[in-house]
Structure 1
Amino acid sequence: MERLLYEASVEGNTTVLQNLLKKDPLILDKVTLNQHDDMPLHIASMLGHKDFVNEILTRKPKLSTECDSQRRLPLHMACAKGHVEIVKALLSVASETCVARDRDGRNPLHLAAVKGHCEVVKELVRAQPHAARAMVQQETILHLCVKHNQLEVLKLLVETVGDHEFVNTKDADGNTILHLAVADKQIETVNFLLLYTTIEVNASNTNGETSMDILAQGPRDMNDKQIIRCLTRAGVADKEQESLLEQNPQNSNSKLRFDNMKHHKKLHLKKDSKDDEDWLDKKRNTLMVVASLIATMAFQAGTNPPSGVWQDNSIAQAGSAVMVYNHPNYYQTFLVSNTVGFVSTLSIILLLISGLPFLKHKVFLWVLMIIMWIATTSMSITYWISISVLTPKPEAQTFKNVVNGIVLVWVGLMTLLVAGHAIRLMEIFQKLPSSSKNAIMHHT
């Protein structure tokens, strides 16, 4: 009977299946229990026998969750072969099988993607969208699409689940999908990624290589011209590099000049990247320390204002600030400036400890520094008011004259610094490639 069941599943003969089930209603369970491979539902799903699959699912829907010796479900088999109707039938009884992994760590969506079955991919993503985010050996499904040159599936996935972070995910070697597409000279894929996604065109892998470096190291062919033009438009390459590649790819002198230029540029970029990263870390650490100190001082000044507080109710309510009654105008300015300094530094601390990815950009570090300047200016005003209310009357006028001069110099200096750094910030932002600008706006 088991041999007859096997032959029926290969042929998709539902009549034989029904007759066998009449003789032994448990035959499907027995075969599943005794065998690890060649189970009827797996065979029928792989060969596309829709009626046979539906007959089994009607009688034994639980068999859709049974694995073979390779940990493959019937859904794995149907997806790998692109049988859309069978995929729909299997999903209708157990949609959670979308995320089941075989022995190689691939779920049914991975198998459908590498085979280029777009309709199957649509059904799987509709049933379980998060299945597309499962990684296989530190590779996303987008990496698999590029490796297997499945551009249509790649487009579909980018349109449905392709947010900025997902598109720019790196594999174990730090390669993005743009690295892989350039390395394999997939011109259409490179064009699609540069024009219709937020791929980071200057991203480096673990060896510090950008997509341009990958192109320079590979063998020369006529596809290089088209790829270099795409990268030039995206701001990765410059006109000098483009003109070198426009020459005969077999010209050894041009090749040598280009390779030497790329080698020196790569070393320079790696050094600059490390220096920038160290500089940013030092700046962030410094900002954290200074912000913590200023926040502590602002809190202390707010709870214990100059001249102290009334100790009893003889003149005013006990615990209220003396400065409210002796210097009401000063107190309002004191409270506002102290609060601005306190809130500004708390904002800096909160942003720095949040670990948000956009804080790694220089642009946002300059913004934090501007907030710090606002905080220090506010605390300077707080200090000036505190000393003013504590200075005796005879010396007050002389002190005010001196302090007013210092404050004017300070305000002028701060204005120049803020203006200068604002201009520099705008220049840095303008020099960024369009993809980086899009990424910054996306994070914002």
Structure 2
Amino acid sequence: MAENKLYEAALIDDAASLHRLLEKDPFLLDRVSCTCSNKTPLHVATMKGNLRFVQEILNRNLQLAEEVDSQQSSPLHIASAKGYLDIAKILFSAAPDMCLSRDFGGKNPLHLAAIKGHVPVLAELVSLCPLAAREKVDGGQTVLHLCVKYGRLECLRILVPFLNEEIVSAKDTDGETIMHMAIRDKQVEIIKYLVETGKINMNAKNSEGQTILDILDETSKDSTNSDIRKILKPSLWKSRGPRTQPVKWLTKKRDSIMVVAILIATMAFQAGVSPPGGLWQETLTEDSKGNPMHQAGESVMSYRHPKYFKNFIRVNTVAFVSSLSIILLLISGLPFKRRFFMWFLMVTMWLTVTSIAVTYGLAILVTTPEKYKQSLSHVVETAIIVWCCVMGILLLGNTVRLIDKWLRRKGIRPLERFRNSAEARVKHGENGSQESV
């Protein structure tokens, strides 16, 4: 049959046989187009890369360029997947709309060229039909996701300059950007290129709330992890969101902190000028034995409880001075986006609160009657010790964090090494127990 001979000619690129068949039956290509349920001769010739035969068919019947096979693939899909640049050019000229056509997998010709890594075809199609690069496949993935998925760095270099930041930072249905995928697969060269473009949102989170660093922490620990961290470090330091959080928190709580500091300063001042137990109202120069006594206006506590009085004045003065320091810090305009200044403000606040708490404890001890003093003094002392321990632990923890972040900037990760060694010891212990069993 003439149809069979036509397919045979398409397979071997026999343009002469095509001419003879069309001389005998000028409507042969039209009939094939109407009756064929799968691949047309143009599909077959494209699949074999027979450029001359493809050109001859299109000269006779351009509509064949729009025909699709059982997989909804057009000849342009096949040319893109095979990497036939010249054939793709003439097919696009014959049917430009097929560049946006999707096969059963939801992919257009540009997607297929990216998956297969055919850079020349991809560059040609994206220049002729940029809109195709914005189309998403099933799962919400862009053509950039496909490039990362299949490790096509050169294809990324072609596409990224054509696309804006919105497309480059687009997320799939799982909320993952191309950087999430690259980190998960540890594609170092792709990660390096994406960082260099400056178009990636480094703080983006997927649907599970994970950032790129969270995903990196989940992956197996090896030398690649440290290489990736070195690549990410400069951009993360510039763009990471948490650096602005202390400033936002301080802005919202500034007035509240100021009111608390003023209140503590007022309390400390009042306690200083009017200590617990009050002041002597009259002067007594000497007692019956001739010993010098008190002057009017002096603290009763300083004579009856001299040890407590000294400590009371010390901690009360610390509370007063530190609360005034907080007020000055808040109105000074210091750059609290820097962690050191936030740490200094935090330490000052803790010192203020702790000092006023100790002042309260000493005041209670002095003013408590003797019959209750023994039982209550133990409670107050215990409460003060517990409070100071809690504050000390918090201060130590935040200081360690501050030092760790500073060391990380220098490329030193002591805490991470400690955690890794601890995990290794735990695993070693588990393995040893299993072996003994």
Q: Give the TM-score normalised by structure 1.
A: 0.54
Is 216-225 or 128-137 further displaced after alignment? 216-225
**TM alignment of 1:39-438, pairs within 5 A:** 39-137=40-138, 138-161=140-163, 163-235=164-236, 254-255=419-420
Measured in 1, the distance between the counterparts of 2:193 and 2:407 equals 20
Instruction: State, as a whole percentage, how many aligned pairs show the same letter.
Output: 42
Kept in 1: contact 2:14–2:53 (CA 8 A): yes
Q: Which amino acid aligns with 2:208?
A: N
Q: What displacement does 1:139 show?
A: 0.7
**Which whole-Å deviations, capped at 9, do the CAs of 1:236-260 have from their partners, x for residues lacking one?**
xx9769969x999xx996437799x
Partner Cα distance (1:65, 1:193) in 2: 36
2 CA distance for matches of 1:147 and 1:154? 11
Equivalent in the alignment of 1:322: none
Q: Deviations over 1:16-39 (max 9, x none)?
A: 111111111222222232222231
Contact preservation (8 Å) 2:40, 2:64 = no
Equivalent residues of 2:148, 2:181 under 8 A apart: yes
- The answer on whether the counterparts of 1:228 and 1:242 sit within 8 Å (CA) in structure 2 is no
Q: 1:81, CA displacement in angstroms? A: 0.4
User: What is the rounded CA distance, in whole Å, between the counterparts of 2:58 and 2:43 in structure 1?
Assistant: 12
Cα deviation, 1:200-250, whole Å, max 9, x if unaligned, reads 111100000011111111122321111011122222xx9769969x999xx
In structure 1, runs of 5+ residues without a counterpart are 260-444
Contact 1:140/1:169 (<8 A) preserved? yes
Aligned in 2, Cα 1:257/1:216: closer, same or farther, shift over 3 Å? farther
Name the CA distance, whole Å, in 1 between partners of 2:222 and 2:48.
41
Structure 2 unmatched runs, 5+ = 237-402, 425-437
CA contact (8 A) 2:170 2:177 kept: yes
Q: Which amino acid aligns with 1:255?
A: N
1:77 maps to a residue whose letter is I
Q: Which amino acid aligns with 1:170?
A: K
Deviation at 1:76, TM superposition (A): 0.3
CA distance, structure 2, for counterparts of residue 188 and residue 158 of structure 1: 15
SS in 2 for 1:56: helix
Across the aligned residues of Structure 1 and Structure 2, the Cα RMSD in angstroms comes to 2.6
Greater alpha carbon shift after TM alignment, 64-73 vs 120-129: 120-129
Note if contact 1:241-1:258 (Cα within 8 Å) is conserved in structure 2. no
Residue 6 (structure 2) pairs with residue 5 (structure 1): yes
Instruction: Say if 2:40 and 2:67, in contact at 8 Å, map to a contact too.
Output: no
Deviations 1:283-309 (A, max 9, x none): xxxxxxxxxxxxxxxxxxxxxxxxxxx
Contact kept, 8 Å, 1:79 with 1:120, in 2: the verdict is yes
Tell whether the 8 Å contact from 1:96 to 1:128 is kept in structure 2 after alignment.
Answer: no
- Number of residue pairs the alignment of both structures matches: 253
TM-score by length of 2: 0.55
